[in-house]
Amino acid sequence: MYKETVEPESGAVRTMRTTKLSIFVIFCASFLVGIASGLGGYTFYYAQGTSYLTDDPTACANCHIMQAFFDGWQKSTHHAVAVCNDCHAPSGVISSFFNKAVNGYHHSKAFTTGDFHEPIRITEDNRHITERQCRRCHQEISGMLNGWRNDLESVSCTRCHRSVGHLY
């Protein structure tokens, strides 16, 4: 009976899928423009942009601006069990690639122009991804918490466990 009240996939996820698709198109276009202007493209190269496609955390720390978060991760409880992409990239080959492309482009641009809010804050979209990733690994333990409404955002794991990935 309780199973029936469970939504197989929340609305938020569906919306994200669609936006991701359009963002991918924008990304490809921007990427070309970026290379042409030598702006985002150079940074993407300099920062070993392909690192967004690997799971090596040191790749993220290629940007000194990510160093503090890398250091924080190393001190966190999860450094031995989860790498950056486990929490910051959605699982599934396709969605993961899209996400990395979007973030990769965004961060490269931000890094190059220096135009971003400091201290750096996770975006709403990326927070949703992280929240889902917590549940991916901890589905067993969070089963009860999700309650019977199972709307993903109704319980935010990071509200209480903000520091599991980064201990400063």
Partner 1 sequence: MLVNIKERKHEQGNPFFKVVEIHDDTQDPAVWGKNFPLQYDGYLRTTDMQRTRYGGSEAMPRTPSQVDPRSTVAQSKLEEDSRLKTMWAGYAFSVDFREERGHAYMLEDQTLTERQRVVTQPGTCIHCHASTYLAYKQLGDGDITLGFEKLNQMPYSEARKHVTHPVACIDCHDPLSMSLRVTRPAFIEGMRAWKASQGIVDYDVNQDASRQEMRTYVCGQCHVEYYFQGSQKRLVYPWADGIKVEDIMEYYDRQKFKDWTHKNSSAQTLKAQHPEFEMWNQGIHARSGVACADCHMPYRRVGAQKISEHHVKSPLLSINRSCQTCHHFSEQEIKARVESIQTRTYNLRNLAMDALVSLITDIQTIQAVNPNHPGLPTARYLQRRAQFYLDFVEAENSTGFHAPSEAVRILAESIDYARQGQIVLRDASYTPNVSIVAIEQ
Stretch that binds partner 1, among 19-27, 39-47, 103-111, 159-167 (CB under 8 A): 159-167
Q: Is 94 in the site for partner 1 (CB under 8 A)?
A: no
Non-local (6+) Cβ contacts of 65 within 8 A are 111, 120
Residues ≥6 apart with Cβ < 8 Å to 137: 82, 86
Question: At its nearest, how many Å lie between partner 1 and the CB of residue 109?
Answer: 18
93 binds partner 1, rule: CB under 8 A: no
- The whole-angstrom distance between residue 118's C-alpha and the CA centroid of its chain comes to 18
Closest to partner 1 by CB, 19 vs 142, is 142
Nearer to partner 1, 30 or 116 (CB): 116
167 contacts which partner out of ligand HEC, partner 1, none, CB within 5 to 8 A by kind? partner 1
Task: Give CA–CA dist 123/51, Å, rounded.
Answer: 20
Q: Cα–Cα distance between 73 and 79 in angstroms, integer? A: 6
Q: Give the position of tokens 């970026």.
A: 34
Q: Which residues bind partner 1 (CB under 8 A)?
A: 1-3, 5-9, 55, 64, 67-68, 71-72, 81-82, 86, 91-92, 117-119, 121, 135-151, 154-155, 159-163, 167-168
